[in-house]
Amino acid sequence: MTAAAPAGNRRGRMSIGEVLSQLRADFPDASISKIRFLEAAGLIEPERTSSGYRKFSYADLDRLRYILSQQRDHYYPLKVIREHLDAMERGLEPPAAAGEAPRAPRAIRAVADVPDAAEFAASPASDLRMSRPELISNSGLTEDQLSQLIGFGLVKFRPGTEYFDADALVVASTVAEMASFGLEPRHIRAFKAAADREVGLIEQVVSPLARQRDERAQAKAVEMVAELGALSVRLHAALVKTGLRSRR
């Protein structure tokens, strides 16, 4: 969703008339009453001034463009468009066709083999929020497999929610691929145990800095966690590779 906003000026606010002038070129049938109807339906939520006037952001304009294009190009009802918008707000891509589940972004599905320190430093994993059915659809797991992964602590909900994040998707997708070779979630517990030991070792190394109240020391601790995390994964990958090669 992109709006024809002037470069460097996407933080401003527009009146409903200004929004309409932006839309008219692509959507000749757009009208003020149509915009108000979409607001009443809960699909857009422009700000209100103290006098009650609507003020639209460029994000609101992008959202309106998306809604109108889906109505025009696909004849989707508002209920379906609302579901698409909800998925997009949670970091997902809208379904490719009616009846399909929202899709995880390709950038998350195409995970690097060995993450670097920058990836470990990223927090949270992403803004991605996937429901249980969406995680199953995007990962290739079965309902029973996901239940087992959750039970074994291999996949967790985002804290305080019933959604899963990008890390959960990576774990679930990887386990689904391993399942094609006959491995079951119960077999994957060995990987979790090994990872927990590595995490414990890193915490032991970093804890003297992390316990200090000095902000620089705490910042250094965060940096060390990221660097040691990346190094541990690199070492683990090298050791597994070496071990498998020695058995050929």
Question: Would you state the pLDDT for residue 126?
Answer: 65
Report the percent of the chain where pLDDT is more than 70.
88
pLDDT digits (tens, 9 = 90+) for 225-242: 989 988 998 898 888 889
- In this structure, what are the phi and psi dihedrals at residue 59, rounded to the nearest 5 degrees? -65, -40
Mean pLDDT calculated for residue range 7-15? 66
CA–CA distance, 46 with 37 (Å, rounded to integer): 13
**Helices 16-23/58-74 angle, 10° precision:** 40
CA–CA distance, 204 with 50 (Å, rounded to integer): 54
- In this structure, what are the phi and psi dihedrals at residue 14, rounded to the nearest 5 degrees? -120, 150
Residue 56, classed as helix, strand or coil, is strand
pLDDT digits (tens, 9 = 90+) for 142-199: 999 999 999 999 999 999 999 999 889 999 999 999 999 999 999 999 999 999 999 9
| 58-62, 67-71, 114-118, 175-179, range with the lowest pLDDT | 114-118
Cα angle 53, 57, 60; round to 5: 100
Reported pTM: 0.71
Asked if residues 16 and 35 have their Cβ atoms less than 8 Å apart, the reply is yes
**Secondary structure of 140-151 in the HEC alphabet?**
CCCHHHHHHHHH
Q: Taking 50 as the threshold, does the pLDDT of residue 103 lie above it?
A: yes
Mean pLDDT calculated for residue range 53-62? 94
Question: Would you state the pLDDT for residue 2?
Answer: 43
Question: Would you state the pLDDT for residue 123?
Answer: 53
Residue 54, classed as helix, strand or coil, is strand
* Whole-number average pLDDT of the chain: 87
pLDDT digits (tens, 9 = 90+) for 63-91: 999 999 999 999 999 999 999 999 999 98
Domains and CATH numbers, the chain: 16-89 (1.10.1660.10), 109-246 (no CATH)
